[in-house]
Structure 1
């Protein structure tokens, strides 16, 4: 049959001749690399090396002033977690001499102190050292998770730079303290990675654990729940989305129920937050008011940095929303930002609360991955210096929780 009479559905035209389509070898779709240990170790090593620089700088300044680095890493909220390891949760909300409610450890979720309690008998140094160890190990797991997400969505270089950027955030020093940010970020990163790969049971279980780590677990619960609902409506993946959606909030709900039972009132946890810790939400009025004060009256450096971080986070969220990433990453980051912005107290902690919002760094990581290597090195180097020096300020000059 002449080429002009060839069935068009069975041929495709090349520059030389008509080739039967059924004989054209199919081009295999590129396979997304699995983030196994061999692939991920450079990203984890980069994260660890950058954080180590911050720790060494802080140690040098602390030694010069005859202060203990362990005390700096185990201060503020880390003291509360160590207290839970040693004495358990309060049986009731303590009352001050004037009759008002005092702060209580019932505001702190149990997974982090629970893991520290497991490590405490093994490591020397007490519960505070155990908490720091858990935080450091979780930081490595988080870096691995960030690499996995970045590699899945872009490429290995993006994943590696994403882990590096997260290490040198302005409040990166917190990632080395006995705080929950690293543990929660690790659980969030691997939960979102599991969602992207439609590993529903893994996503549900990890989300359940995240709900036992921080109140911001609610952001993950919302994302996993909505993803599962969409999958159910579209009749995808059978029974697995049902199970993931059902188990994802169990950790969060279990702790809320525990506090309610401990205090003998269904709203016990919210009673602790509102009346003991004076924390609630006011649609951002306090944030806006405090920021206005910063612009009109002299204030501490830490507060200016918080305002700048929140502003940059909002800008990065807009960029992320237009960057053609899966909606789960944008929604998760938006909820984390909203929880930080709308809180009406502890302005100094708003930037720290944004540490787990790692998807906001994805457009930056992607841009640096496409840039020439010297540019990426210089940017990461500059951010490392700024983060290390600001960590010294947060740990040795600033007198409130970072």
Structure 2
């Protein structure tokens, strides 16, 4: 099997080759030692992040403890859904205007919080525990994905795939706003599920890919991008002349594609309005799809006026992410991963809403990380470690600052 069978075209220099038959991913990833190193990288980033939260919190002297900082903003919404369930209709303020409510939040993360709380754990603690456990799953999945994609990278050593996996873990878990991986947010769960889905699809384990894709689609609305990526992977599999049991990739894709419409349809049925989820999003958070007009306006206005360093930094991060995605696409990555990244970025850049939430929404978009991952995998270990450490120093501090000092929601 050639790289053309996996990517759908002629592989470019630096593009991942198809997994060789019989090449076990567990062995390529370094078995328990390799996976343990990935979890250790995650633990190091989380410990440094928590230390920064404590340091900045001590400087502000606002009386909010570390646990309280991990339970702010969206965490409260998830906890209300987990404890009280979903409301039965719209919510209105005293002046009669519509407000946001828990129906805006997808169900899997609150369901897991409720399940852990049923074991006798306080719901806030359960929410943090689910997020932290999901972060561990995300680290393992990121390492396996990097290894699977780049184990046969042209012109590289046999250990390049393993190093790519570790680099993907470090770069993702130390990214700006990766602080949400420690908070009672759904990003860690979504990252674990979508990355696991991509690993399963790349290794052609279709039942796992379909299940993980469905779970991702029930975690965040960008799960639709993951489902489309799985559909592309299924189409590539159907093109293979030696493919067997062709119904399996098709079934996996259909299961994943059903997730987001199923939840949106359920919200519409519960409220009695087919557009209910979209109306709640718009009323509560100003979220609507305007094809990027508000994003372009924000970036242009911010870079021309320079008003507020956080706004400027967000604008620059949005531009850097676009540039990184362009470089990644020029290298012709695995097509399903490219489709997931492009669709997810289109959803983030194309929607109106809080501009300071966009870096958080970009965190699970793995496409933007690929150029740095390839460079780190091919570089000398000392150079790669120093470069990633510099990236982590900024990213971990930046996220801690936004949680402790920045007064607005992420």
Contact 1:195 1:203 in 2 (8 A): yes
1:244-259 matches, within 5 Å, as: 244-259=252-267
Confirm whether residue 193 of structure 1 aligns to residue 199 of structure 2: yes
| Alpha-carbon shift at residue 190 of structure 1 (Å) | 0.7
Structure 1 residues 240 and 165 mapped into 2: Cα distance closer, same or farther (>3 Å)?
same
Give deviations 1:110-168, integer Å, cap 9, x for gaps: 100110111124465x3222111111111111111110011112210110111011111
CA RMSD of aligned residues (A): 1.9
Confirm whether residue 144 of structure 1 aligns to residue 150 of structure 2: no
1:243-282 matches, within 5 Å, as: 243-282=251-290
Structure 1 residues 306 and 196 mapped into 2: Cα distance closer, same or farther (>3 Å)?
same
Contact 2:81 2:102 in 1 (8 A): yes
Confirm whether residue 107 of structure 1 aligns to residue 119 of structure 2: no
Measure, in 1, the Cα distance between the counterparts of 2:304 and 2:371. Answer: 33
TM-score, with length taken from structure 1: 0.88
Return the index of the structure with the highest Cα Rg.
1
**Structure 1: runs of 5+ lacking an equivalent:** 1-27
| Partner in structure 2 of residue 363 of structure 1 | 371
Confirm whether residue 213 of structure 1 aligns to residue 219 of structure 2: yes
SS in 1 for 2:209: helix
Measure, in 1, the Cα distance between the counterparts of 2:391 and 2:314. Answer: 16
SS in 1 for 2:64: coil
| Partner in structure 2 of residue 31 of structure 1 | 23
Confirm whether residue 227 of structure 1 aligns to residue 219 of structure 2: no
Higher normalized contact order (CA 8 Å, seq sep 6+, divided by chain length):
2
Give deviations 1:266-304, integer Å, cap 9, x for gaps: 222223223444311111110111111112324333222
1:294-333 matches, within 5 Å, as: 294-333=302-341
Question: Which is worse superposed, 59-68 or 348-357?
Answer: 59-68
**Structure 2: runs of 5+ lacking an equivalent:** 1-19, 151-160
Which of 293, 299, 306 is matched with 1:291 structurally?
A: 299
Contact 1:146 1:163 in 2 (8 A): yes
Which of 20, 36, 42 is matched with 1:41 structurally?
A: 36
Which of 354, 369, 385 is matched with 2:362 structurally?
A: 354
Contact 2:303 2:315 in 1 (8 A): no
| Partner in structure 2 of residue 60 of structure 1 | 55
- How many residue pairs get matched? 374
Contact 2:285 2:354 in 1 (8 A): no
Structure 1 residues 363 and 257 mapped into 2: Cα distance closer, same or farther (>3 Å)?
same
Give deviations 1:232-251, integer Å, cap 9, x for gaps: 46573322122112211233
